[in-house]
Structure 1
Amino acid sequence: MAAQILNVGHGNCSFIHDGPNGVVVDVPAVAPLLEAMDRAGASTVDHLILSHADNDHIKGAAALMAHDEVTVKALWANPDSTKLSEAFIDLLTVAADRHQRGLIKVSTNLNVGADGALNCGRVGVRILHPGILWAGVGPTKGKHPLGSITSNGMSAVVRIELDGNPAVLLPGDLDAKGFAEMRRVGVDMTAPVLVFPHHGGRSGAADNREFARELARAVQPELVIFSHGRSSFLNPRKEIVDGIRDALGSKVRIACTQVSRACHPSPLPDASHRSQGTYSQLACAGSLSITATSKGVSWSPGASHHSITVDSLESPMCRTREVSVDTGVLQAKKK
């Protein structure tokens, strides 16, 4: 049983499995996911969850559903009439066709009302946002009694629980207004691992540092992961990392799936310690696997492996003088 945060370049993809069955949250590129499933001996996706309709979260979904060697039992996504991308229309078309042939269940109600319906074996999947009110309204443009709600604001926030305890928070591209709504209704967001929203980019807040600081305080993670691509943006933004440090100090561990150009603008140093493949060649921490242990939650590759890359970077934001390399064992907070 493990939750894998996959290195997919700029985007998000998580594969959580318990034996041959699993749950997938977002899939911008299908190849890294298929490789992870093959390594785990898994060929069945009980639930394919798409946090929102941006291409860097959904572009590989149609290919996954149509794959000959993978069975996707159910698709969960929210409607979004503001998204006009080909990828979104394609995945809905494939889903509609497979649903008509009795090959997949499709649910367009990914919100807190789905609580309990997404579990898979010993893996618990909780939707913390959107709530019923926001889900019923959906993304809005122009004048509306609730004001403007963006696709990012509607992004599903998923908490993965392993053996009954919070393990990983997956907020998709949650923005400042969506986060404010979660705080307004008193959502418990705590988890030992946080995959930071919007790949460490702009939050939609007037002050990105304050957004990061308040989110870190709400989640109280011991490991923060930025899932981003080296070639796309200068993520994570420095003010985001600074906000996390403001809230949690130097003890919080920070890891990026790929080497950020903000940390190393020059061509990458020798990557002989990394595995082969387009994404792995650009990896910093690479794909990470989160597992439950008797002591809490552990992650691998651990800090010592990550340090091999970090040592060669020009200005790594994840490192402070006070942070030391350790075994990568985190203490999970009990519910």
Structure 2
Amino acid sequence: MRTGMLALGAGLLALRFLPDLPGTPWLLLMAAVGVLLLPFRSYPLGLFALGLAWACASAQLALDDRLSPELDGRILWLEGEVVGLPEQRDGVVRFVLEEPSARRAELPARLRLSWPQGPALHSGERWRLAVHLKRPHGMLNPGGFDYEAWLLAQRIGATGTVKSGERLAEAEGVHTWRDGLRQRLLAMPAFGREGGLVALVLGDGSGLSSAEWRVLQDTGTVHLMVISGQHIGLIALLVYGGVAGLARLGVWPGFLPWLPWACALALAASLGYGWLAGFDVPVQRACAMLALVLLWRLRYRQLGIWTPLLAALLLVLLIEPLASLQAGFWLSFAAVGVLLLVFSGRLGGWPWWRSLGRAQWAAALGLLPVLLALALPVSVSGPLANLLAVPWVGFLVVPLALLATLLLPMAPLAEGLWWLAGGALELLFRLLEWLAALLPAWLGGHLPAWAWALGALGVVLVLLPAGVPLRLLGLPLALLLLFPPRPSLPEGQAEVWQLDVGQGLAVLVRTREHALLYDAAGRFGDFDLGERVVLPALRALGIQRLDTLLISHGDNDHAGGAAAVLRRMPGATLWSGEPQRLAGLDAQACPAGARWEWDGVAFQVWRWAQARGGNDASCVLWVEAGGERALLTGDIDARAEAVLLGSGLDLRADWLLAPHHGSRFSSTPAFIAAVAPTAVLFSRGAHNAFGHPHPRVLARYARQGVHIHDNVTDGALSIRLGTRASAQGWRSERRFWRKN
């Protein structure tokens, strides 16, 4: 039986790694072969085929429900119902609209919308909205968050920005109750931690700031503020333990068998908590796992402890095959698997304090390969932080917050309990903030597949019981995860990465021993691209420090992320064409005319000395390796281009970063002719409000026979300067959900 379960699970999980989905004829053939093989000894192969066929069919249905290309970028009037709990941050309301309808247009079943300066929305309301619709698209970078995969896993077929709207119907039923409960809870004072408590009660994390999420990430405690298996299991444990305790004391009614009642009440309490939290996919996954564990405890303990975990995995994937696209799926099942590996099959028992400590270090070590494979930060302080925070939140904050919620009709008592829960959470955050400042999260670089596999094997060996042969060999193997082999650049070559940062700019230039970052992308309210995109990409590419951060000029889309980059990579020399606009940073004026060489790679800087500021004050940078040149131009426009043409400098370059993102006031014919590039790079956002790049600019480059690269279509772009090789787009790594 277990062999068949493993084969079915492997087929369902294989979806995550497919570059393309098979067509309908192949799916039908795969399903038919799977059914035919079931009666024979090769039934595991049949189950694998059936699992893969079901997963692919489900994924294809989600892809087919995406917004049609004809509607991409259009503004339509549509009607639909708000679902979930809308989020409001930095003046923008974000929400999900289900079953939208529009005249003369077929729309996906679910839309994720944002409404700048929008009104307060409530779950269950019906609205008529004018929406600028967009097909699912996200920035794609090394070490970055795959937004397109996340949208597909949520079965969201389009995103959009609301231009205007009118409410058609008020919310009714359970939607109104849950939204109203959130408002009541947020209105009760709790030392400023109301948002965190609401996250623990209702699963709504929108009340937590980016700074708070960063602290949780640095300390490896994000899972404490996200209702998942830990919280569901805690509620079940408290109820189950309560019944078992009453039975041991002889207080439980004798005519009721305590074990079935303990399991049933624990499951009922967990389902009630899950319903209160909105019963999102992680909560559904946790409840399914709990139900199978309780069933195993009640009737099937002879099957072994691994069977319920495997059954839960199959149940989750059969219900939602796209769950494998989410990092939370892998982390939750890996965490349970690690704990089972560490605690099952041991002789004798451990004191509770030793078990808690062992669980934390085992989880930290066991999840290391998973975190690195998913390009997620690794918390250095996580074991210590969780050793303190897990029992503090689980046995103090959550019970107090839930009890306060249940006692809301008794307002004074509920407010007192809520205040105590907030105070406990405030104390915890004070400690976590100190740990985060002392030991920020570590972002691992790119690992070769062979190094990751050997490192993961080493981790498994270390976690095995003492006395297992070759166990000590696991330690040097596991160190490959922390100190992987780093391929170095040859002397006289440079690697240039134009990161995908939307409507902004960030370009990394690294040589054998040095690294320079040209611009650091933007910051928009609480969303800092320097922190969210640039830093993870630098770490993923193995950049541990920067020698120079050159901010071309002071506009937000180029300079907004500079502070975040310098906070994590202090010591870099900061230059800018407009140092006076980089408030709070120790910026120096761009050294116009400076030339230097790193590892056989030449650099040169130019700036229009008479520029009044703004775009034309941009620092321009040449990089030359092995006779191959790249020209980075910032946001210079036609006037600065004319001055640069008259400077007498040799402007020729093989690679040109399009001035000002391809604005129609830049890239003049004379400038393009003087540079004579082989290829031009555009850094811009999809459907940006400026219309970059302008069609006339594209036509000018096309007339010169220049090859065009664009972050929107290519993702992050890499060039090996000095080899005359073609540019490589990060989007060229094929994944079935990136098909447009």
TM-score normalised to structure 2 length: 0.30
Q: Aligned equivalents of 1:286 and 1:22: distance in 2?
A: 21
The one-letter code sitting in structure 2 at the alignment partner of 1:94 is L
The yes-or-no answer on 1:9 pairing with 2:495 is no
- Preserved contact between residue 553 and residue 634 of structure 2 (Cα < 8 Å): yes
The yes-or-no answer on 1:291 pairing with 2:291 is no
Partner SS, residue 501 of structure 2: coil
Aligned match for 1:66, one of 564, 567, 583:
567
Indicate the structure with greater strand content.
Answer: 1
The yes-or-no answer on 1:243 pairing with 2:700 is yes
Aligned position for 2:669? 213
Aligned position for 1:228? 684
Q: Aligned equivalents of 1:60 and 1:305: distance in 2?
A: 27
The one-letter code sitting in structure 2 at the alignment partner of 1:49 is L
Aligned position for 1:124? 602
Q: CA deviation at 1:293?
A: 4.9
Partner SS, residue 160 of structure 1: strand
Look at both structures and tell me which one has the larger radius of gyration over its CA atoms. 2
Matches within 5 A, 1:153-302: 153-163=616-626, 165-203=627-665, 211-233=667-689, 234-246=691-703, 248-249=704-705, 252-258=706-712, 284-294=713-723, 296-301=724-729
The one-letter code sitting in structure 1 at the alignment partner of 2:585 is V
Partner SS, residue 639 of structure 2: helix
Q: CA deviation at 1:19?
A: 4.0
Per-residue deviation, residues 199-223 of structure 1 (Å, max 9, x unmatched): 11132xxxx6xx4322221111111
Per-residue deviation, residues 177-214 of structure 1 (Å, max 9, x unmatched): 111111112221111111101111132xxxx6xx4322
Aligned position for 1:22? 515
Q: Aligned equivalents of 2:695 and 2:643: distance in 1?
A: 25
Residues 308, 160 of structure 1: alpha-carbon distance in 2 compared, 3 angstrom cutoff: farther
Q: CA deviation at 1:80?
A: 6.2
% identical aligned pairs: 25
Q: Which runs of 5+ in 1 are unaligned?
A: 96-105, 140-149, 259-283, 314-335
- Preserved contact between residue 23 and residue 120 of structure 1 (Cα < 8 Å): no
- Preserved contact between residue 153 and residue 175 of structure 1 (Cα < 8 Å): yes
Residues 32, 181 of structure 1: alpha-carbon distance in 2 compared, 3 angstrom cutoff: same
Aligned position for 2:551? 50
Residues 177, 222 of structure 1: alpha-carbon distance in 2 compared, 3 angstrom cutoff: same
* Stretch moving more, 182-191 or 3-12: 182-191
Q: CA deviation at 1:299?
A: 1.5
**Of the two structures, which has the highest relative contact order with CA contacts closer than 8 Å and spacing of 6 or more?**
1
Aligned position for 1:319? none
Q: Aligned equivalents of 1:55 and 1:223: distance in 2?
A: 27
Residues 240, 129 of structure 1: alpha-carbon distance in 2 compared, 3 angstrom cutoff: same
TM-score normalised to structure 1 length: 0.64
Partner SS, residue 585 of structure 2: helix
The yes-or-no answer on 1:75 pairing with 2:574 is yes
Aligned position for 2:595? 115
Partner SS, residue 520 of structure 2: coil
Q: Aligned equivalents of 2:605 and 2:693: distance in 1?
A: 25
Q: CA deviation at 1:25?
A: 0.3
Indicate the structure with greater helix content.
Answer: 2
Per-residue deviation, residues 133-191 of structure 1 (Å, max 9, x unmatched): x1xx451xxxxxxxxxx42122111111224x243111001111111111112221111
Partner SS, residue 42 of structure 1: coil
Aligned position for 2:103? none
Partner SS, residue 661 of structure 2: helix
Partner SS, residue 624 of structure 2: strand
The one-letter code sitting in structure 2 at the alignment partner of 1:17 is R
Q: Aligned equivalents of 1:253 and 1:75: distance in 2?
A: 33
How many residues are matched? Answer: 237
Partner SS, residue 8 of structure 1: coil
